[in-house]
Amino acid sequence: MIRVILILCANIAIGLLQAEDWLTIYNDDLSLVRSSFDLELNKGRQEYNFDDITSRIEPASVIVSSAKNEIIIAEQNYEYDLAGTMQIMRKYIERPISVLTKDQTLYEGTLKFFDSSTLGLVEEPGKKLVLVSYAEVQSVRLAELPANFYTKPTLHWGLIAPQKGKYPLMLSYLSGGFSWNVTYNTVWDGKNLLLNSWVTINNTSGRAFENVNLKLIAGEVNKIREQYYDMMQGRAKAGGMAYEMSADAAPAFEEKAFHDFHMYTLDQKVSFANNQTKQIQLFPVKNVTAKGKYEYTTFGDGVQSIINFKNVEEQGLGLPLPKGVIKVYKQDSDKNLEFIGEDEINHTSRNDEVNIRTGKAFDLVAKTIVTDQKSIPNRISERTMKVTVRNNSKETKTIEVIHHTNANSKILHTDRKYETKDNKNTFTLEIAADKEAIIVFTERTEW
């Protein structure tokens, strides 16, 4: 590995004074960053490098403005040609370098080329071409970091100020690298779900945020996805990930409808380190009235155990639920909580129903077979199906058997009552312990 030594000159930067940040995080690897800060500027045209940005910034989304339009933004460049060994060497073609080998031989000359294994330089005097293997190189000495090279992604501005003084600026841009999701931890007692909600926020944006104003947007925002430029041939990666659970009960989210989405605003400022996962409670614990039920879909793989509730205030909830994972626990006879399953939910508005599929019922067995099938002239076919459901438990169970039809098919006749809604046909069976029930029906399809 080549060790590059640079002799650098100091740069004088324009003063950055007090700043404040706002962060809005969406569901799909998208965030909006806004920063307000003061710059101490001189009169006239001057250059300023602002590198307190994420490594996943969308350059085309950058908006920078000054209060009362006092400052003229004459030019803005997004600099992402970041300093690295190969990038620096590329900039030094036809420039003088010094190469020290492991046997302490010093070569000085003009760099002509380099590849994956060799440096080529022309020594003075004599114009002798020297090829040096990377394996023999101890260090390469360069006079300076090439122009327009940056150690961090940087916004370079050309600013014009009417006079010397302090000026407030506002910067906003879209960025990847932030995500959030919700985990609902619940305890099920057969009649009620004790529901606790946690927002998990991941920051892999390449930038830390101190005391930021935080908002979360729940909903699907339409966004044209582009291939982001991968700085340093790689985005910010979660290496050794810090994990933090907020122990302070004081922070709370205020929810409100916003456009066609729901917005959650944290009532306190919060800090995020880069490559950190943070958890904050979404809303206080709720005691939700629910019911357990069993479902079997014809030709399906087992009888599903489901916990069902309606998202209404009368049942203890009535709040917009962002998409996430619901984990379900149940207390055993020894008073310890045991995990009994989990399921995903989509964004769920008030008054919607929620079905949590916790797994397959061990003692409920069901199967579907086709007992007869025939074709009838005029593009009509019929098939007769037999569904057998057995209850091997020690309690009476109610099972809903569901058979889906389409626009061209319908149940022609059956020996049991059923309900139909949106091509979903539901047979409700109550089966005593160690008993079985059989449904026979004929489905007709017209092509």
pLDDT tens-digit series, residues 61-118: 999 888 788 899 888 888 766 556 777 777 788 889 899 999 999 999 899 888 888 9
Q: How confident is the model at residue 285 (pLDDT cuts 50, 70, 90)?
A: very high
Higher pLDDT, 207 or 228: 207
Higher pLDDT, 81 or 282: 282
With 0-12 / 13-18 / 19 or more C-beta atoms within 10 angstroms meaning exposed / middle / buried, residue 278 is buried
At residue 302, the pLDDT reads 95
pLDDT at 9 over 60: no
- List domains and CATH numbers for the chain: 4-82+150-175 (no CATH), 85-142 (2.30.30.100), 178-220+241-289+303-353 (no CATH), 364-446 (no CATH)
How many percent of the chain have pLDDT more than 70? Answer: 86
Q: Is the pLDDT of residue 423 over 90?
A: yes
**pLDDT average, residue stretch 254-278:** 87
Q: pTM for the full model?
A: 0.72
Structure confidence at residue 287 (pLDDT) = 97
Residue 17 is predicted with a pLDDT of 54
pLDDT tops 80 at residue 260: no
pLDDT of residue 244: 41
Q: What is the pLDDT of residues 29-44, one digit of tens each?
A: 899 999 999 999 999 9
Q: In this predicted model, what pLDDT tens digit does every residue of 135-169 receive, in sequence order? A: 898 988 887 766 666 667 889 899 999 999 999 99
User: How large is the average pLDDT for residues 295-311?
Assistant: 96
Instruction: Give the per-residue pLDDT at 262.
Output: 84
Q: What pLDDT is attached to residue 3? A: 54
Q: Which two tokens stand for residue 382?
A: 């019929």
Asked whether residue 12 carries a pLDDT value surpassing 50, the answer given is no
Average pLDDT estimate for 11-32: 74
Arithmetic mean of pLDDT, 260-286: 90
Q: How confident is the model at residue 253 (pLDDT cuts 50, 70, 90)?
A: confident
* CA-closest candidate to residue 288, choices 190, 427, 141: 190
**CB hemisphere CA count around 325 (13 angstroms):** 8
Q: Which of 123-127, 140-144, 220-224, 291-295 shows the lowest per-residue confidence on average (mean pLDDT)? A: 220-224
- Cβ density class 406-416: b for 16+ within 10 Å, e for less: eeebebeebee
Q: Looking at the predicted structure, is the pLDDT value of residue 230 above 50?
A: no
Report the mean per-residue pLDDT for the chain.
86
Where does the pLDDT of residue 418 fall: very low under 50, low under 70, confident under 90, or very high at 90 and above?
very high
pLDDT value, residue 238 = 33
Q: How confident is the model at residue 18 (pLDDT cuts 50, 70, 90)?
A: low
- pLDDT at residue 229 in the model: 34
